[in-house]
Structure 1
C-alpha cells in the first residue's frame, strides 16, 4: 500500500471564552455565557485534527482566512490564488488531495452553520473575516455527525469570538504599495448577562496583473477587487444552562479577472438561530437560511469582447439540526440527532456574438437538492483507552432539474426536464485512542462518507475561455471509504509533534473529463485514490514559537470507458508535496514578529496532464509593534522574494498569483 503524509499545526486548545455578568449576588451561581456549541467529546482527538488559535488566524501576511488555512497539512483550494484574484466559483476546498474540480469536498461550518454556496459549493472567503474568529478546527476524514453528508474529505469548523476577547472597540486600517486598502471595525459590548458584537470589513484595490508581461494585450486588466461584509452576533442566556445565539451577515464581492469587462460578483445574506443547553440533558438546536447570488461575464481571449453573460444565479439554502446528549452514564457520551439541508437555485445566462455583441442564446437551468440525515455516535472511555463509533443514514432527493435554451429570437431550441431521484445511503465511522503515556497518544480510525453533486455540477455549463465544460444531470453521489492511523507526541513542555498515515478513496468522483478539443464534461469516474502521510510540529519555548506542517500525497484518478484516458493520472490541481513553516518571536510585550515559508509542489491543470503548474516556494513576513496602550503598528509582506506562482495554465495561457506586496497600517483594540 502506498502511503501519504502531512505535518500539522501543534494541537492548540480551543479557547472556551466566557463573559460574566457585571455582578451577581453572592449566594447565586453566576451565569456563564460562552457563545460556543457543546463541548468536545472524549474521542475528538481520535481523528486527525489541527487547531488554529486566534493569534495565528489574525497574523497572516495577506489578512485572509485562506492564508491561515494554507498552513494546515492537506488543506487545498482548487486554485492557488486567494479570494482577491480568483473567480468565486473556483473557491472550492478539499483535504488530502481529494479534489480535481472546483467544488468543495470538505465541509466548512461557521458556528455550526454550513458555509458553502447552495448552488456552486464554493466558500465565500471574502466574507469570512479572521478577526471575527476565536479558532478553527480542521478534522480530516469522512464525517458521520451533523452535516456529515457534505464532509467527504473532512470538516473545517470556524468558531466566532466574543465580546470579552474583542474589547469594546477594535479595528484595523492598512494600505499596500499598490494603494489597495483593508479596513475593519468591531463594536462589542455586554448585553445583560450576554453580549453583542457588530463588525464590518471592506477590502478594495486595483489588484495586480495576473497575466504575465509577455502575454498582455491592450485589453488586459488588473485583478481589481472590491468586497465588504457586515455581521451582527447576539448571545444571551435564557436560563442558567440554556443559551441563545443569533447571527446575521451580509456580504458583496466584485472582481475583474484578466480582461477589461471580465467582471464577476457574489453576494449573500444569511441568518441563524441556535439554542445550546448545557444541563443534564445537553442539546444543540440550530436553524438557518441563506440567500446568495452570482454573476460573471466571459470575455473572448481572441476578440476581447463579451461572449457569455451569466447575469443572474440566485440560490437559497436553508436547514438546521438538533443534537441531543442524554445522561447515559457509565463513561459514555452519546450523541443523537438529525440535520436537514435544502439547496435550490437556477442560472440565467445569455450567449453573445463576439462579432456583433447580439444575443445568440438565452439559457435558464436549475433544480433542488435536499438531504435529511439521522446520526448516532457514542464515545466510551475505558481508562487510558477511548473507543468511538458513529453512523449516519441520509435521505437525499435530487429533484426539479431543468435546462431551457432559446435562440436570439426567443424560439425554444431545448427544453429538458430531468427525472428526479432519491434514496437512502448510510455511512459510518469509528476510532480508538490510547493514551500510552503522558507524552504519547496513539490513534486509529476508519470512516465512510457521502457527497451529493451540486446544482452547479448537475445543471450549469461554464466557460474558461476557450474551454467549455458541460454539466451532467445524471451524476451519481460520491462515496468515500477511508482509513488512518497516527500518533501525537509531547516529548517536552511546549513541544507537540504529530504524524498520520491515511488511505482514502472517493468512488464515483466527479471530475471535469476531456471529451474533445476545448470541451470537457463533468462525469463520474471510477475513483480518486489518495494515500499518504501528514506531519505537523509545534514548539513554544520562551519568546520563540514554531508551527510546521507537511503533506505528501500519492493520489491517482481511476477511470474506465469514456474516462479511460485519465486512468492512473494524478487528479487535476493536486500537488504531491505541500509544506509550511512559521517561525515567530515575541521579543517584548506587545511585539510580534513572524515569517512563513511555504512550498507547493507541481500540479497539473487538467485531467490529461497536458498543462503543468510549476512548483513554488514563497516567503511571507509579519510584524506588530506597540505604538500606544491599545494601538499597534502592523507591517506585512506577501511573497517577499516575488516568486512566480502559476495559478492557471491553459495551453500556455497563464495566470499568476500574488506578487511581492508590502502593507503598512495600524490595528487597535484589546
Structure 2
C-alpha cells in the first residue's frame, strides 16, 4: 500500500480531475500566482470565519488544530491536540453535532480532502502554518460544490502563494519537557513560476496525562516525535492558465498513558491542479493519498499488551473538475463532477495479558466511494445576491469483510458483508442582501450527507477496559439545516456578526452503550443542534481584537433500542465555547498577543455519566526583532496552568496540555 513520490505523481495523473475552493476573502480575491479562481459572490450567504496567515503563524502552540479553535464551535473529538491524543481521535466537527472520532466537517487543503481514507481523522501534524496563506471555516452549509461529507461544515485551508512566501524562512524553538521544533522552507522563482520545498521536525518528552493520584509504575509521559516534508510548485502555462503540484510525506509517533502504548501514523500524498482564469474558467484537481496507522493497547489493570493494531494500510484516490461558462455579468454558473474512492483494511493481534501470547488474529476492511455531479449559480441583482445549487451522488460500500483466526491460524470467523449502493440528492440555497456598505443580511438552507468510514463499519477498538464494536450495517448520516445572520461594520476597523442556526443530523452515528464496558457504533434517529454564533473584530492603530462565541443547544432524538438516549446531550458536545485574541503591534516586527479560550462542560459518553468540566486557558506570544529578518519569539501555552480534563472513563482521567513555555528564533 505504499507509494514513492514518483509513483504518487503517476497515480495522480491517471485519476479524474477536480476543482478546489480558492483563497479566503469574503469579497473575492486579487488573483495571484498559486491561487485558485475568484470566490463566487454568493459565498458569504452561507457565513464563514477567516483566519489569516499572520494569525496562523502567531499561535502559542504553533499547531494548526489549536489556532482553528479561534472559531468557537470548532472541536476535535477530544480536547487534546496532536501531541497527546491518539491520532485516530482527531476527527473534526462543528456546532456540537456529537462526538465522533471521524470527521463530520469536510477539511480541504487546496480542495483535497485531508481525512484519512480508513479512519476519517485529520493528520494535523502533517500541516504547518508557514505553508498556509489562510483558512475559511463555514459552520453548516451542506455539501454544495465541496463534495460529500460536509454535514457539520467545511474547513478550507489554502496553501501559501508567491505573494506570501519569502525566498527562505525558518524557525527553531526549545520548550518545556525537553521539546524542540524546527521548520524551514526555500521558495525560489523558477522561470515564470516558483517552487517551495519545506520541512518540519518536532519532538518532546511530553507531560503526564494521568493525574498524580492515578499514576502507577507503568505510567509514562506523552512523548511525541513527528516530521513532515513537502514540495509545492506552480508553473504558468499561458497568461490565463497555470499548473500546480503538491507532494507531502509525513510520519507521526506518540505514546499515551502507559509504557508501550505507542501509536504511529504515516502518509504520502500528491496532487495536481490546473487553473484557467479566462473567459471559460476551469479549476481541475486530481490526488492520491497513501496512509498507514498502528496502535498498541495496554491493559489498565496489569499494564501488559492486550491488542496490537499493527498495520492499517489505506488509500484514497479522487478528483474534481469545475467549469464556469460565460453566462453574463450577473451570473456565476458552476458545473462540475467529483469522485473519491477509499480502500483499506486492518491487521491486528489480540494478546493474553496472562501469558503474553497471541490469542486471536483479526483482518477486516472494505471499500467506499462517492461520485457526484453538481450545478450551482450565483445571481447578482443590485444589492441582492441569490445563490443555489443541487448535487446528486452515487455512493457505494463494497468488499466488506471480517476474518478472525486463532494463534495457530485456524479460522474462527469469516464474515463477508453484502455490497450496498445508493443515490443521495442534496442541495443548498441562500440569499445575501447588502442593505448598505455597513450592513449585510443573509439566510441559507442546506442538506448534506456523510458515508460511514471503513473504521466505523469494520474496526472494533478498545480504550481499556471499554470495547467499542464496529457495525457493518451502519447507514448514511443525513443533514438538514437552516440559518440566518447579520454582518455589521458600525465603524472603520470594526465588524460584528451574528448567526442563528437549526441543524438536524438524521441517522447520526454514535458509540452506544449496550452492556458493561461494551459499546457499539449505531445510527440514532437524529442529533438536533440549534443555537447562536457571535463573531467580532476590531482594529485600532496598533491594537487588534478578534472574538468568537458559540452557544449550541444539542440533543439526541432516539427510539427503539437506543430510546434510553432520547433527550440526552450528545457525547463530547459542549454547550458553550468562546475564544478571544488581543494583539498589539507597537512597531515593525514587534508584537505581543494573548488568547483566552473557554470550553464548557461536556459529557464523555452517551449516558451522561462522566463529566469533562469546563476550562479556561490563556496563551501568550511575544516577538522581538534582534536583527534584519531575524526575531526572537517567546510563547506560553496555558499560562495559568489550568487543569483541562480530556477523558473521563468512570473516573479514569486524562489531562490536556499544562503550562508549556517556548523560546526560539524565527528567520524570514
TM-score range, shorter chain: over 0.9
Q: How do residues 297-316 of structure 1 correspond to structure 2 at under 5 angstroms?
A: 297-316=296-315
2:536 aligns with: 537
Structure 1: distance between partners of 2:130 and 2:29: 17
Superposition map of 1:650-669 within 5 A: 650-669=649-668
Conserved? CA contact 1:17–1:34, under 8 Å? no
Correspondence for 2:439: 440
**Alpha-carbon separation, structure 2, partners of 1:17 and 1:335:** 20
Deviation at 1:34, TM superposition (A): 2.0
Distance 2:46 2:371 in 1: 25
Distance across 2 between alignment mates of 1:145 and 1:428: 6
The structural deviation recorded for 1:357 is 1.1
Deviation, 1:560, is: 1.1
The correspondence of residues 174-573 of structure 1 with structure 2, limited to 5 A, is 174-329=173-328, 331-573=330-572
Q: TM-score, normalised by structure 1?
A: 0.95
Decide which moves more: 99-108 or 526-535: 99-108
Given that residues 34 and 162 in structure 2 are in contact (C-alpha distance below 8 angstroms), is that contact kept between their aligned partners in structure 1?
no
Displacement of 1:561: 1.1
Mapped to 1, the partners of 2:93 and 2:498 lie a distance apart of 19
Checking the alignment, whether the CA contact within 8 Å between 1:450 and 1:478 is kept in structure 2 is: yes
Give the secondary-structure state (helix, strand or coil) at the position aligned to 1:170: strand
Q: CA deviation at 1:143?
A: 3.0
Over residues 138-175 of structure 1, what are the superposed CA-to-partner deviations in whole Å (9 max), with x where a residue is unaligned?
Answer: 11214333342111111111001134422111011001
Distance between the aligned counterparts of 1:141 and 1:87, measured in 2? 27
Report if aligned partners of 1:635, 1:665 keep a CA contact under 8 Å in 2: yes
| CA distance, structure 1, for counterparts of residue 558 and residue 28 of structure 2 | 45
CA distance in 2, matches of 1:14, 1:627: 37
Q: CA deviation at 1:178?
A: 1.7
Quote the residue 2:619 is aligned against: 620
Q: Aligned residues, how many? A: 645
Matches within 5 A, 1:94-105: 94-105=93-104
Counterpart residue number, 1:578: 577
Name the structure 1 match of 2:9: none
Distance 1:192 1:14 in 2: 31
Give structure 2 stretches of 5+ with no counterpart: 1-23
- 1:330, CA displacement in angstroms? 5.0
Asked if the contact 1:144–1:375 (Cα under 8 Å) also holds between the matched residues in 2, the reply is: no
* Cα 1:315–1:474 shift into 2, 3 Å: same
Distance 1:339 1:177 in 2: 45
TM-score, normalised to structure 2, is 0.95
Maintained 8 Å contact 1:16/1:34: no
Relative to 1, partners in 2 of residues 1:12 and 1:241: Cα closer, same or farther, differing over 3 Å?
A: closer
SS of 2:84 mapped into structure 1: coil
The separation in 2 between residues aligned to 1:16 and 1:42, in whole angstroms, is 11
Distance 2:218 2:168 in 1: 44
**Separation of aligned partners in 1, 2:163 and 2:496:** 31
Match of 1:71 in 2: 70
In the TM superposition, residue 536 of structure 1 has moved relative to its aligned partner by 0.5
1:5 corresponds in structure 2 to: none
- What is the alpha-carbon distance in structure 1 between the residues aligned to residue 30 and residue 130 of structure 2? 15
Task: Report deviation, 1:14.
Answer: 8.3
Deviation of the 1:13 alpha carbon = 5.9
C-alpha spacing 1:106/1:467, structure 2 compared with 1 (3 Å):
same
Q: Tell me if 1:145 matches 2:163.
A: no
Match of 2:7 in 1: none
Q: Could you say which structure has the greater relative contact order, defined with CA pairs below 8 angstroms and 6 or more residues apart?
A: 1
**What aligned pairs does 1:160-175 form with structure 2 within 5 A after superposition?**
160-175=159-174
- Conservation of the 8 A alpha-carbon contact between 2:142 and 2:479: no
**RMSD value over aligned CA atoms?**
1.1
**How far apart in 1 are the matches of 2:165 and 2:140?**
33
When residues 491 and 12 of structure 1 are mapped into structure 2, their CA distance, relative to the original with a 3 A threshold, is farther
Alpha-carbon shift at residue 12 of structure 1 (Å) = 6.3
Q: Give the drift of 1:17.
A: 7.4
| Mapped partners of 1:82, 1:14: distance in 2 | 32
| Aligned partner of residue 449 in structure 1, secondary structure | strand
Classify the secondary structure of the residue corresponding to 2:582: strand
Question: How big is the shift at 1:202?
Answer: 0.5
Instruction: Give the 3-state SS of the residue equivalent to 2:539 in structure 1.
Output: strand
Residue 16 (structure 1) shift:
5.0
Contact 1:163 1:189 in 2 (8 A): no
SS in 2 for 1:525: strand
